[in-house]
Chain A
């Protein structure tokens, strides 16, 4: 048998989801055991299942480990300043209402430095899908206390244990007027992908909290083992309570985690309210803003 007969062309196997990533930016910066990549994977699966038009999707991130999500996605993506992803996204969305604008950022970025923007975007019902990767810590800067760090957890700037109460993020989003509020962990990959689909389909201010391990900083400092140990914790201590009262879903240090879809309601978006208001005020003189006219 000649050697030529052995030459067969093998099909190039490629993960069908690769096209959603900027492959020239891989490898990513995330640590082994980090959950951000899992959350990103669930997001991409949601996009794929929805056959989402990627040219009409824009992803905006702030600063931090989760802030790097925008840079890996092969869509129009914006890595903004610390805490300001939401107001940038607000301008982007109002600038081109045809875009679906998703904010992907971390708990410190969205709720400490960016907290004011979050509550006002929710109050306005700005048509944004805000995804918060909550790892209870500032990962990029080395594990400082965050507004989400549970009482008692140790962080570099709370070296004797955290004595500040943490935000209950679903309650905050709910009370400010978010029309969709859900929480899952990166253990719940299927539910997470479904929640991403729901958030992408929802009109108005949608909020998804994703609990994610930070083995390098949060887990290590609190002697909680590695990423797998945190996934086991998520698995064992998570309780699904769809429609739960958001006042009752507070997280505690290694305590029970209430997950599920808590809020799903309708309210006019900022832009719809503006258009409706001006149409009433000005009548036919007013041309609705950002509404495509079928010529």
Chain B
């Protein structure tokens, strides 16, 4: 199905990533957002608050991030596409409801405009240090999806995709921006509504009585209903059976939690979204994501000019990690160079998947600014030697 024309500002814009992300959400069909002010993410909801009255929807500034992160889940069960928007400290407060969303299979998008941490850290300066937190931050086992845009244009385009994936997989989807992408102003082309593909909620065609809220389909994802339609659903964060009723036993736990993990793991091949540059003959591969991919791309070009056979693998979907692709590359390349605005997070995934078959080099950065091209270039030249 296509985007509702009412929400789509077709045309060319000169806006920052935060604003573009908001436009992407509205184009994707988001009509309910809740948030709490936090730098550098607030502009996303400021724009949503300004835009949504005439589009037809609701924004509510809740009393904190805990409230925001569960108000959206309530609205999702009323049938809405929903998001909340935050940054480091707010994301930390939302963790319990990320688990609740995963457990209750509530489609939702969490926008994280990353800033330096830990704690209050660097409110106005960038980092990419929440990558592991969004994967593992809530207690227990579950699967999530995370995307990492590197420009305002992608903040629009990938936000639509983020909402679509939330509907398809019924799991929390993280939109991993950073301060630079959020505040960078660039040209953003918003397509016509009929050129924007949106995935509707997977509402069941079954009648009340024939429907079980947590009976999975072939792709391990159950069909959904909404409150008020006569299905008399029960939704709980307790371990539950296919009816949605609490089931306090190891068998129910194994069945449910395994599926929550497997519905992402088993579909991981459909969730590969990468950009590949010069990988055909590469001996060294730079693996990057988000804002760092723009600096990495410059380093790769410079190294190519210097005659180094280096390629660039940019992760657009960061979680699930594209294991098969990286493992395949590890069979034939000499080394991986992994620059990121943290002291070594996604590099651990690269190391795990490469499993000693090639050298893996981290180019860490504690955040506060982006890498220098030279820092990444030096490591490329070093491992290529």
Contacts and interface: CB of A to CB of B under 8 A. Distances in A.
Contacts of A92: 74-75, 77-78, 227
Contacts of B80: 95
A274 B77 CA distance: 22
B233 A77 contact: yes
A60 B233 CA distance: 12
Interface in A242-295: 270, 274, 278, 281-282, 285-287, 289
Interface in A192-223: none
Contact of B231 (A22, A76, A285): A76
B381 interface: no
A112 B131 CA distance: 32
Interface in B213-246: 226-238, 243, 245-246
Given A87-B67, A95-B78, A286 B54 contact: yes
A270 to B, nearest CB: 8
Contact of A88 (B32, B64, B70, B79): B70
A44 B96 CA distance: 32
A71 B234 CA distance: 6
B70 A87 contact: yes
A76 B71 contact: no
Chain A interface helix/strand/loop/mixed:
helix
Contact of B62 (A76, A87, A96, A274): A87
A99 B74 contact: no
A77 B53 CA distance: 29
B74 A89 contact: yes
Interface residues of B, number: 45
A156 interface: no
B25 to A, nearest CB: 16
B234 A70 contact: yes
Contacts of A282: 53-54
A111 to B, nearest CB: 15
Interface stretch (A6-14, A32-40, A78-86, A161-169): A78-86
Contact of A81 (B96, B227, B229, B233): B96
Given A94-B32, A117-B63, A78 B77 contact: yes
Nearest to A288: B56
A91 B233 contact: no
B309 interface: no
Contact of A22 (B67, B234, B235): B234
A116 B70 CA distance: 14
A74 interface: yes
Contacts of A58: 227-228
A121 B104 CA distance: 24
Nearest to B57: A289
A75 interface: yes
A81 B106 CA distance: 14
A235 interface: no
Interface string B68-85: 101111111111101000
28 contacts: A56-B228, A70-B234, A71-B236, A74-B232, A76-B228, A76-B231, A77-B235, A78-B74, A78-B235, A79-B237, A81-B96, A81-B237, A87-B66, A87-B67, A87-B71, A88-B74, A91-B32, A91-B74, A94-B32, A94-B75, A95-B75, A95-B76, A95-B79, A116-B63, A117-B67, A270-B60, A289-B56, A289-B58
